[in-house]
Amino acid sequence: MSIRTPLAKVRGLGSAKDGTHHWWMQRLTSVALIPLCIWLVYSLLGLGMANQATVAAWMKSPVQALLMTAFLGATIYHSKLGIQVIIEDYVHAHFSKNALLMMNAFGFIILFAMAFMAIITLHLS
């Protein structure tokens, strides 16, 4: 039984307008990132100060390319969610807040597209 008034429901009151999904996705990506971060640190230590050829060779392996895709997907989504709360907490002017929230969402989507394209290109090179 919800204690929200009909007006509150219609207006979606509160800075974020809704929260549970965001909270859960943040936890889900965090849990996924525990093993993925360990993998990344282990891989980067093995790679050392890499040159372009070593990076390309690393991404040729299907498993490594898959793990990199998973790592960047989880990280980018996790970052998007985190920056979103920072914007919601500190920016209150209607126009600025919504503009920044949109730029945040689009920015991280483009970032993942770039990551995915780069991984595929290196993998198939």
Partner 1 sequence: MAENPSTPDLYNANRPLSPHLTIYKPQISSMLSISHRITGAFLSAGAVIFVIWLWSAAYHPNCFATLAAAGKTWWGMGLLMAWSFAFFYHFTNGIRHLIWDMGYGFELDAANRSGIITVAGSIIITAFVWYMLLTK
Determine what percent of the chain falls in helix, strand and coil, rounding each to the nearest 5: 80, 0, 20
Q: What angle do CA 98, 102, 105 make, to 5 degrees?
A: 140
Interatomic CA distance for residues 42 and 20, integer angstroms: 34
Do 120 and 57 meet the contact criterion of CB atoms below 8 Å apart?
no
Interatomic CA distance for residues 27 and 81, integer angstroms: 11
The half-sphere exposure of 42 on its side-chain side, counting CA atoms within 13 A, is 9
Looking at 3-11, 14-22, 114-122, which segment touches partner 1 (CB under 8 A)? 114-122
- 109 in contact with partner 1 (CB under 8 A): no
Q: Which of 82, 102, 105, 106 binds partner 1 (CB under 8 A)?
A: 82
- 119 in contact with partner 1 (CB under 8 A): yes
Which 10-69 residues touch partner 1, going by CB under 8 A? Answer: 27, 30-31, 33-34, 37, 41, 45, 48-52, 55-56, 68
Nearer to partner 1 by C-beta: 8 or 31?
Answer: 31
- 86 in contact with partner 1 (CB under 8 A): yes
Do 64 and 58 meet the contact criterion of CB atoms below 8 Å apart?
yes
Size of the site for partner 1 (CB under 8 A): 36
Residues lying near partner 1 in the complex (CB under 8 A): 27, 30-31, 33-34, 37, 41, 45, 48-52, 55-56, 68, 72, 75-76, 79, 82-83, 86, 92-95, 111, 114-115, 117-119, 121-122, 125
